[in-house]
Amino acid sequence: MTDLNEYECEMLDTLLEAFGIPDSLTRRQILALFDQDEASAFAMVQALLREELVVVSGSYGEFELPERLILKPKGEKFLKEGGFMRRYQMEQQRQNEVGGTLAKLQQQNMRLQNEKLANQTQIINQNKALNVLKLRMYISWALILVALIIGYFIGHAGK
């Protein structure tokens, strides 16, 4: 279904709606619906055949319109349920939902990346503070050691 655009969906629904009481269309009727554009008509008939909504009766050739198209009950039910346009609109809505979900995921991803960056910055700052405290501790130990050595020499010099 994803290969059909909105215009093609409308044309397919119009073609399905054109089936009358005998539930069949002749080659002439099909061509009249498409202003004698056999290529477009053929493409639309192929789409209906692919969806198994119609059957062919009497063909001219492999790439020509059949003599008669007969609507299957499945085709009539499909049309009553909204046809190709309903399917197209539902698909568009589903793509919007997926797009919305994608946008939410991108926002969440950006928020998590910012949070990660903030945490990394905090870790760097805390490591710097830790290094400063370690340096102060080493200086304190060094001063205590120097004071002990000076005290030792002063104590021995007085004897």
CA atoms within 13 A on the CB side of 45: 29
pLDDT tens, position by position, 47-102? 888 888 888 887 766 668 888 888 888 888 888 888 888 888 888 887 766 667 77
Rounded CA gap, 111 and 75, in Å?
Answer: 49
Domain boundaries, the chain: 6-81
Give the pLDDT band (50/70/90) at residue 1: very low
- The answer to which of 20-29, 90-99, 111-120 has the lowest mean pLDDT is 90-99
Q: Are 13 and 79 in contact (CB under 8 A)?
A: yes
pLDDT at position 146 over 90:
yes
In 3D, which of 26, 20, 13, 19 has the Cα closest to residue 66?
26
Calculate mean pLDDT across residues 18-27. 80
Backbone angles phi, psi at 66, to 5 degrees: -75, 165
**Burial (Cβ within 10 Å: 0-12, 13-18, ≥19) of residue 26:** middle
For position 156, what pLDDT does the model report? Answer: 87
User: Higher model confidence: residue 43 or residue 142?
Assistant: 142
Backbone angles phi, psi at 64, to 5 degrees: -125, 160
Q: Are 57 and 68 in contact (CB under 8 A)?
A: yes
For position 98, what pLDDT does the model report? Answer: 67
pTM of structure: 0.55
Question: Which secondary-structure segment (H or E) carries 107?
Answer: helix 83-157
Query: CATH class for domain 6-81?
Result: mainly alpha
For position 113, what pLDDT does the model report? Answer: 92
For position 2, what pLDDT does the model report? Answer: 52
